[in-house]
Amino acid sequence: GAGVSQSPSNKVTEKGKDVELRCDPISGHTALYWYRQSLGQGLEFLIYFQGNSAPDKSGLPSDRFSAERTGGSVSTLTIQRTQQEDSAVYLCASSLAQGGSPLHFGNGTRLTVT
């Protein structure tokens, strides 16, 4: 597609349930990022994939959060045993491999944990 695609656009889940968020990056983009944006807060880095290198997981807030990137393309962010404080907009971005390339963001998934 022309841009970064995220699904679902909205997700409401009960506390304690697991959720999966999906990101389809722009074709040919080898770098993929997940960020979280909470109400009134800035963007919080979660995880970064670059090609076949080991991902930078330094931003994941707890071991309930994990992410995969299969085949160097689609990525899935999984949150296990969701808590109310996980409610936020989860944004995915991709870029070309070169460090100087701009990031292109999807519209995000708005997660609400009740």
Residues that bind another protein (CB under 8 A): 4, 6, 33, 35, 41-43, 45, 48, 56, 59, 91, 93, 99-100, 102-108
Token duo for residue 78: 């999984």
Output the CA–CA distances (angstroms, integers) from residue 106 to 25, 35, 85, 91, in the order listed.
Answer: 8, 11, 22, 6
CA dihedral 54, 55, 58, 60 (to 10 degrees): -130
Residue 42 CB, shortest distance to another protein, in Å, is 4
Minimum distance of another protein from residue 18's CB (angstroms): 24
CB of residue 64 to another protein, shortest distance in Å: 21
